[in-house]
Chains A and B, each alone.
Chain A
Amino acid sequence: MTRWRGRLLAGLLIVTGIVLPFGFGSASGFMNATIIAVAYAVMALGLNIVVGFAGLLDLGYVAFYALGAYSLGWLGSGFFFKAHIHVLVSAVADTLPGVHLNFILILIGAAIICAAAGALIGLPTLRLRGDYIAIVTLAFGEIIGVVAVNGQSVHVGGGMTLTAGNLGISAVDAPYFPGIGSFGLLDLRPWYWLIFAILLVVLFVNLRLRDSRLGRAWVALREDEVAAVSMGIPLVKTKLLAYSIGAAFGGMSGAFFGTYYTEVNAGQFQFGFSIFILAMVIIGGLGSIWGAVVGGLALGYINNYLIPDVLNGLPARLGLNFQLTEVEFGIFGFLLVIMMVLRPQGLIPERRRRLELTPPDAP
Chain B
Amino acid sequence: MSPIQTPAPPAVTVLRAEHVTKAFGGLVAVNDISFDVPQHSIVSLIGPNGAGKTTLFNMLTGLYRPTGGRILLGERDITRARPDVITQHGVARTFQNIRLFGAMTAVENVMVGHHARMRAGLFGSIFRPPWVRREERDTREHARELLAYVGLREPVFDRLASHLPYGDQRRVEIARALAAKPRLLLLDEPTAGMNPQESGVLTEFMRVMRDDLKLTILLIEHDMKVVMGVSERVTVLDYGKKIAEGEPAVVRADPAVIEAYLGRQE
Genuine A/B complex: yes
B240 at the interface (CB under 8 A from A): no
Q: Please encode chain A, from 221 to 257, with 1 for each CB lying within 8 Å of some chain B CB and 0 for all others.
A: 0111011111111110000010001000000000000
Which of A214, A227, A245 is in CB contact (< 8 Å) with B95? Answer: A227
Question: Secondary structure at chain A's binding surface: helix, strand, loop or mixed?
Answer: helix
Q: Which candidate, A36-44, A136-144, A204-212, is the interface stretch facing chain B?
A: A204-212
From A205, A223, A233, A353, contact of B126 by CB (8 A): A205
Q: What total of chain A residues lie within 8 Å of the partner, measured CB to CB?
A: 31
A355 to B100, CA, bound (A): 15
B31 in the interface, Cβ–Cβ < 8 Å? no
In the assembled complex, the Cα of A223 lies from the Cα of B108 at a distance in Å of 13
Contacts of B82 in A (CB 8 A): 229, 234-235
Q: For A214, give its contact among B61, B117, B121, B135 (CB under 8 Å).
A: B121
Instruction: Pick the residue among A216, A222, A232, A355 that contacts B180 (CB under 8 A).
Output: A232
Are A241 and B122 closer than 8 Å at their CB atoms?
Answer: yes
Given contacts A214-B121, A226-B63, contact A231 B103 (CB under 8 A): no
Set of chain B residues within 8 Å of A234, measured between Cβ atoms: 82, 84
- A208-B63 contact in complex given A214-B121, A223-B103, A353-B104, C-beta closer than 8 Å: no
Q: Contacts A208-B126, A232-B87: A353 and B112 contacting too (C-beta < 8 A)?
A: no
Q: Does A219 lie within 8 Å of B93, measured CB to CB?
A: no
Residues in A whose Cβ lies below 8 Å from that of B136: 212-213
Q: Bound complex: CA of A214 vs CA of B111, how far in Å?
A: 11
* Residues on A with beta carbons closer than 8 Å to the beta carbon of B108: 216
**A173 near B: Cβ within 8 Å?**
no
Does chain B have a CB within 8 A of A215? yes
User: Taking the complex as formed, is A67 at the interface, i.e. its CB lies under 8 A from any CB of chain B?
Assistant: no
- Bound CA–CA A234/B83 (angstroms): 8
* Cβ-defined contact, A353 with B103, below 8 A: yes
1/0 per position for B158-184, CB-CB distance to A under 8 A? 001010000000000000100010000
Complex alpha-carbon distance, A216 and B116, angstroms: 12
Contacts of B120 in A (CB 8 A): 212-214
With a cutoff of 8 Å between Cβ atoms, the chain B residues found around residue A205 in the complex are: 126
Whether A213 lies near B115 (C-beta < 8 A) is yes
Quick one: which of A208, A233, A355 contacts B84, CB cutoff 8 A? A233
A227 to B93, CA, bound (A): 9
Q: Decide if B49 is an interface residue (CB 8 Å cutoff).
A: no
Contact of A235 (CB < 8 Å), options: B84, B99, B126: B84
Q: Is A352 an interface residue (CB 8 A)?
A: yes
Closest beta carbon of chain B to A214's beta carbon, Å = 5
Supposing A216-B104, A226-B63 touch, asked if A209 and B126 sit within 8 A by C-beta, the answer is yes
Asked if B88 CB lies within 8 Å of chain A CBs, one says yes
Do A214 and B125 form a contact, CB below 8 Å, given A231-B180, A232-B84? yes
**A227 touching B115, Cβ below 8 Å:** no
B101 is an interface residue with CB less than 8 A from chain A: yes
Contact between B160 and A233, CB atoms less than 8 A apart: no
B160 / chain A contacts, CB cutoff of 8 Å? 352-354
The answer to whether the Cβ of B118 comes within 8 Å of any Cβ in the partner chain is yes
Cβ-based interface call for B50 (8 A): no
Contact A223:B105 (CB < 8 A) given known A216-B112, A230-B63: no
How many pairs of A and B residues are in contact by the CB < 8 Å rule? 106
Q: Is the Cβ of A232 less than 8 Å from the Cβ of B126?
A: no
A355 and B162 CA atoms in complex are apart in Å by 12
* Residue of B84, B160, B176 with highest tally of chain A CB at under 10 A: B84
Given contacts A216-B104, A353-B160, is CB(A226)–CB(B99) below 8 Å? yes
Contacts of B103 in A (CB 8 A): 219, 222-223, 350, 353-355
Contact B104 A223 (CB under 8 A): yes
Pairwise interchain contact A230-B61, C-beta atoms closer than 8 A: yes
**A217 on the B face (CB < 8 A):** yes
Residue A119, interface by CB 8 Å? no
Assembled-state Cα–Cα distance A354/B162 (Å): 9
A228 CB contacts on chain B under 8 angstroms: 101, 112
Q: Is B196 an interface residue (CB 8 A)?
A: no
A208 to B126, CA, bound (A): 5
Taking a contact as CB atoms under 8 Å apart, the answer to whether B112 and A224 are in contact is: no
Out of B83, B105, B121, B125, name the residue touching A229 (CB < 8 Å): B83
Closest-by-CB residue of A relative to B128 is: A208
Indicate if the CB atoms of A213 and B84 lie closer than 8 Å.
no
Q: Are B112 and A231 in contact (CB under 8 A)?
A: yes
Does A72 make an interface contact (CB < 8 A)? no
Residues of B within 8 A of A220 (CB): 101, 104, 112, 115
- The yes or no answer to B38 lying at the interface (CB within 8 A) is no
A217 touches B84 (CB 8 A): no
- Shortest beta-carbon distance, A218 to chain B, in Å? 11
Most buried by B among A219, A223, A232, A233: A232
A231 to B99, CA, bound (A): 11
Given the complex, which residues of B lie within 8 Å of A208, measured CB to CB? 125-128
Q: Are A233 and B101 in contact (CB under 8 A)?
A: no
Annotate B39-71 by CB proximity to A: 1 below 8 A, 0 otherwise. 000000000000000000000011100000000
B113 within 8 A of A: yes
Q: Given the complex, which residues of A lie within 8 Å of B105, measured CB to CB? A: 352
Q: Can you pick out 6 interface pairs between chain A and chain B where the beta carbons lie within 8 Å of each other?
A: A219-B103, A226-B99, A228-B112, A229-B63, A234-B82, A353-B103
Extra A-B contacts (13), CB below 8 Å, given A219-B101, A230-B93, A355-B103 = A209-B125, A213-B136, A217-B112, A228-B112, A230-B87, A231-B84, A231-B87, A231-B176, A232-B113, A233-B115, A235-B82, A241-B122, A354-B102
Q: List chain A positions with a Cβ less than 8 A from chain B.
A: 205, 208-209, 212-217, 219-220, 222-224, 226-235, 241, 245, 350, 352-355
The 10 closest A-B pairs by CB, nearest first: A232-B116, A212-B125, A232-B87, A227-B99, A353-B103, A223-B101, A229-B83, A213-B120, A214-B125, A234-B84
